[in-house]
A and B are shown apart, each in its own frame.
Chain A
């Protein structure tokens, strides 16, 4: 992979740091006083998800990271790996538990997820912003109660637990925002 000089730093550039691929979130050129110049860089480590701030001496160069995002449909899990397929080439790829992480609770068959590949291997799996899942368990709501009064917990088919309004019942399919884990609406059937 090519090296990048700090002059080429910009948001979105993928570089290697401490052996981990990172995404540059912000890059600011700083030249304090009459002194030397630095690049103050906010980065996200792509495997751990940690956001850090680092200072590079201007003119330093770092190794680029071979990272790309790809859109793949979720197929199934064999218990160890999660299998995805490219809907155009039908090429399949398997992500391990570490790459899927917490997002396992938002994986719905046939949903198209964003898989980040590093040197060709999946390192993160991001679900679509909205998924539809069936409620497998929730307390029956009190009669006459209206929405917006706090709601109740509901367990979904993937094991995810979200707060839903009291009128929503077991067996219904609901739409959830995966970015904050919040109930959006009943699914449009």
Chain B
């Protein structure tokens, strides 16, 4: 490894074959269910406003107008897929690269493979059922577990994340001895997210993949608020053997509410001193024309591959991780 060996792949030939088999299995699964594979742009004029997702951006010097244009590498094909849903009213999936401008690690590479799909007429529980079937198909899991976000906190930390005061959550945070470096204080959602990550995640999904659903409304992203309990959103995440594998929603259809959430994201960005992002008006226009009632999910395929074949680091399933790309 002393000589320049960085031209060589970090994945074994077997890992490359494992990936090819997994892709074939995924495609077979959706062919059988009549979900259409689509291919939407990786390079887009629109991007996410989420304060904690940064997109790579580049300058396009050859646009029709003659003016330089900022284009973003997509962080998830969500907006493009929803535009297709609004146009053609058909269930779709995409298996492709996504990019996030953030650090690498055991489970992270800034360029990664995402499987994202949308099912018309499904709610998030129907979609969790379908994900369980997909996991059975590719990982041979015997089933899945489901727990609400609230139940998970009550079971493992004895605190109600929805109704407890922020002071009470701060007390639990201190009791867990999470030592945070940095001057600023951490907000309620930040504490809940770290508590979940450090104290709950290692304990769930160890035997069977575990869905956590009914997230606090403040962490709803692009999910509908629950019709019976607006304190929570119809959003779920999937955890298995220490990895977060998927994030899904019963999709928000209201254009007014979606615009408010984007604006709220940008206010949060300003408060954090981050650049404000342009709102994707084409996406909002598709909601305006009418997004069918649907549920959708994005799944990290590199992580699925790691768990499928017991690879311990994402580099083992990537031909060339970012340092060698």
Contact = CB atoms under 8 A, between A and B. Distances in A.
Interface of A: 6-7, 17, 27-40, 52-58, 60, 62
B106 interface: yes
B223 to A, nearest CB: 10
A53 B181 contact: no
Contacts of A7: 103
Contacts of B196: 32-33
Given A56-B181, A57-B181, 20 more contacts: A28-B105, A29-B102, A29-B107, A29-B108, A30-B197, A32-B197, A32-B201, A33-B197, A33-B219, A33-B237, A34-B219, A34-B247, A35-B189, A36-B51, A38-B194, A54-B179, A54-B181, A55-B179, A58-B103, A60-B181
A37 B181 contact: no
Query: Which of the four size classes fits the interface of chain B?
Result: 20 to 34
Interface in B209-256: 215, 219, 221, 237, 244, 247
A54 B177 CA distance: 9
Given A36-B190, A38-B194, A31 B181 contact: no
B52 A55 contact: no
Nearest to A27: B105
Interface in B152-187: 178-182, 184
A33 B193 contact: yes
Contacts of A60: 181-182
A35 B181 contact: no
A37 B179 contact: no
Interface of B: 50-53, 102-108, 178-182, 184, 189-190, 193-194, 196-198, 201, 215, 219, 221, 237, 244, 247
B50 to A, nearest CB: 7
B52 A57 contact: no
A183 to B, nearest CB: 36
Nearest to A6: B103
A25 to B, nearest CB: 15
Given A32-B197, A36-B52, A57 B105 contact: no
Contacts of B215: 33
Contact of A35 (B104, B201, B219): B219
A35 B180 contact: no
A178 B269 CA distance: 54
Contacts of A31: 52, 102, 108
